Amino acid sequence: MKPARKQRLMLIGLMVIGAGLATGFALKSFNENLMYFFSTTDVVEGKAPKDTLFRLGGMVIKGSVERPNDGLMVRFKLTDFSKDVTVEYTGILPDLFREGQGIVAHGKLNAQGVFIAEEVLAKHDENYMPPEVKDSLKNKSAPVTGQKS
Amino acid sequence: MFLIPDPVVRFFHRMASPPHFYAFTERLMPWLVVIFLLLTAAGLYGGLYLAPADYQQGDSYRIIYIHVPSAWMSLFIYMVMAVAGAIGLVWRIKLAEIVAISSAPVGASFTFIALVTGSLWGKPMWGTWWVWDARLTSELILLFLYLGVIGLYGAIDDKRTASRAVAILALVGVVNIPIIHYSVEWWNTLHQGPTVTKMDKPSIHVSMLIPLLLMAVAFKFYYLIAMLQRARTELLLRERNAQWVKNMISESK
């Protein structure tokens, strides 16, 4: 390779590495802000903000969904398989909302430590399969496939 | 060049010659179109008709047969554009510059399609059209990078200078590619994790996976068709004073 070309190739390499490093450091320092939601453990340990709106993500615990006043208000528990948080929400839930499904709620904590949600979004997992396969998995009593949240 | 077999090297040397490229792509085009049509027909038939409904989403999941291949293409085309741009910068090969700039509008379109189809799916499934999570935001930045490349190229009159400027912009933007891919693993996002492009076994049933892969290959061919057509036009425009173009035009008269 001719020296001039070699030099240009090196310059390009350095430029890409430099840009990569700069972006890497910037993202690392903003890491907290780039998290779309807090986990339930964060909330229980008090890492989530008080008195301001934030997002809480977790899996809806099976059998925890109830409608106390027979109205639109729903109460359910979210978990990240270590700590639980109770959530209350008044409104229409998305299609994918169901027990055992990951969701992200936007709202804030009240004085009792209950999360009052203003918006509930369903988090889809990365699994796609026909209903028959799901049924046969259930019969084999396989655990629910990995939730990332 | 010791690692690459001789015939391949000779092929690329010949392709770097404008008249040869022009003639070769002309002969190649019908084949590409036929393969693209066959793959698309097979992929759509498999995806929309043969593949079963999903256990949770029912039929709504079928948008992945457009959304996922488009999103893959948006990353793939960006890498082609950046590598072609780098080759143009280092070796000053005119055709590499042309391939780089011809890829940009195609990549931008695929990025746009990925964003729009994702949004259409997100409203019923997530409950929102758009969220500012890491995956969606970085994909939107990718769209802006493509638009920036197109805009910058158009803003500079000397096309060889423009190609160099565009290549540098594209190369700096390469950092965004791993960010898009790994965003769902590095951060909490509303967007789900990878289904197919991971080290593990794909978490999609094989009857749904095959049409998806067919569509992904079909989209690759569509990209080749669209990019080569743009490249041929761009080549004629740049070489309009060259003897081979004049000969070709006088022959066709």
| CATH number belonging to domain B31-252 | 1.20.120
Chain B closest-CA separation from residue A113 CA (Å): 22
pLDDT tens by residue, A95-105: 788 888 888 89
**Is residue B129 within 8 angstroms of chain A, CB to CB?**
no
Same domain, A27 and A53: no
More confident residue, B47 or A2: B47
Same domain, A47 and A118: yes
Residue type, B201: K
Residue A139 has what pLDDT? 66
Compare CB distances from B126 to A34, A122, A125 and report the shortest one's residue. A122
Q: Tell me whether residue A72 is exposed, middle or buried, using C-beta atoms within 10 angstroms of its C-beta: 0 to 12, 13 to 18, 19 or more.
A: exposed
**Is residue B197 within 8 angstroms of chain A, CB to CB?**
no
Compare CB distances from B205 to A101, A119, A130 and report the shortest one's residue. A130
Residues 6+ apart with CB under 8 A from B153: B101, B104, B159, B162, B163, B165, B166
Looking up residue A69, the CATH number of its domain turns out to be 2.40.50.140
Q: Do B133 and A36 touch (CB under 8 A)?
A: yes
Mean of the pLDDT values across residues A22-27?
Answer: 90
Residue A104: what are its φ and ψ, rounded to 5°? -125, 125
Same domain, A78 and A106: yes
Q: Do A124 and B125 touch (CB under 8 A)?
A: yes
Annotated binding site of A for heme: 124, 128
A144: confidence class by pLDDT, cuts 50, 70, 90: very low
Q: Do B127 and A121 touch (CB under 8 A)?
A: yes
For the beta carbon of residue B45, count every other beta carbon within 10 angstroms. Answer: 13
- Helix, strand, coil % in chain B, rounded to nearest 5: 80, 0, 20
Compare CB distances from B189 to A19, A36, A129 and report the shortest one's residue. A36
| A87: in domain | yes
- The secondary structure of residue B61, as a DSSP letter, is G
**Is residue B207 within 8 angstroms of chain A, CB to CB?**
yes
A140: confidence class by pLDDT, cuts 50, 70, 90: low
Q: Do B55 and A96 touch (CB under 8 A)?
A: no
Compare CB distances from B91 to A5, A23, A96 and report the shortest one's residue. A5
More confident residue, A123 or B163: B163
Compare CB distances from B190 to A36, A126, A133 and report the shortest one's residue. A36
Chain B closest-CA separation from residue A33 CA (Å): 10
Residue A147 has what pLDDT? 40
Same domain, A15 and A47: no
| A148: in domain | no
Lowest mean per-residue pLDDT among B78-87, B163-172, B182-191: B182-191
Lowest mean per-residue pLDDT among A111-115, B155-159, B211-215: A111-115
Residue A148 has pLDDT above 50, yes or no: no
Q: Tell me whether residue A67 is exposed, middle or buried, using C-beta atoms within 10 angstroms of its C-beta: 0 to 12, 13 to 18, 19 or more.
A: exposed
pLDDT tens by residue, A120-131: 888 887 778 877
Residue type, A119: E
| A144: in domain | no
Q: Which residue of A has its CA nearest to B212?
A: A128
Same domain, A107 and A66: yes
Owner of token pair 């936007």: A106
- What's the CA gap between B68 and B196, in Å, rounded? 10
Q: Do A39 and B188 touch (CB under 8 A)?
A: yes
Same domain, A94 and A122: yes
More confident residue, A44 or B106: B106
Q: Do A131 and B90 touch (CB under 8 A)?
A: no
- The secondary structure of residue A99, as a DSSP letter, is T
Mean of the pLDDT values across residues B191-213?
Answer: 84
Same domain, A66 and A89: yes
Mean of the pLDDT values across residues A67-80?
Answer: 85
Residue B24 has what pLDDT? 92
Contact between residue B80 and residue B99 where contact means Cβ atoms under 8 Å apart: yes
Same domain, A27 and A56: no
For the beta carbon of residue A123, count every other beta carbon within 10 angstroms. Answer: 26
Residues in chain B closer than 8 A to A131 (CB atoms): 52-55
| Structural domain count, chain A | 2
Same domain, A10 and A59: no
Residues 6+ apart with CB under 8 A from B186: A34, B134
For the beta carbon of residue B7, count every other beta carbon within 10 angstroms. Answer: 8
Q: Tell me whether residue B66 is exposed, middle or buried, using C-beta atoms within 10 angstroms of its C-beta: 0 to 12, 13 to 18, 19 or more.
A: buried
| A147: in domain | no
Mean of the pLDDT values across residues B34-39?
Answer: 97
Q: Which of B236, B219, B216, B217 is nearest to B26 (CA)?
A: B236
Residue B253 has pLDDT above 50, yes or no: yes
Same domain, A58 and A89: yes
DSSP for A114-149, written as a single string: -EEEEEEEEPP-S-B--HHHHHHHHHTTPPPPPP--
Q: Do A16 and B175 touch (CB under 8 A)?
A: yes
B187 is written with which tokens? Answer: 């951060």
| A146: in domain | no
Chain B closest-CA separation from residue A125 CA (Å): 5
Residue B250 has what pLDDT? 87
Model pTM above 0.80: yes
Same domain, A50 and A118: yes
Strand blocks (E) in chain A: 38-39, 54-60, 73-79, 84-90, 102-109, 115-122
Residue A138 has what pLDDT? 67
pLDDT tens by residue, B230-249: 999 999 999 988 899 988 88
Residue A143 has what pLDDT? 45
Annotated binding site of A: 124, 128
Residues in chain A closer than 8 A to B54 (CB atoms): 128-131
Residues in chain A closer than 8 A to B171 (CB atoms): 12, 15-16, 19
- What's the CA gap between A119 and A106, in Å, rounded? 5
Residue A146 has pLDDT above 50, yes or no: no
Residue B81 has what pLDDT? 96
| A88: in domain | yes
Residue type, B153: Y
B74 is written with which tokens? Answer: 């948006």
Q: Which of B184, B180, B211 is nearest to B195 (CA)?
A: B184
Same domain, A42 and A105: yes
- Residue A95's domain spans which residues? 36-126+134-139
| A75: in domain | yes
| A64: in domain | yes
Residues 6+ apart with CB under 8 A from B36: B218, B221, B222, B225
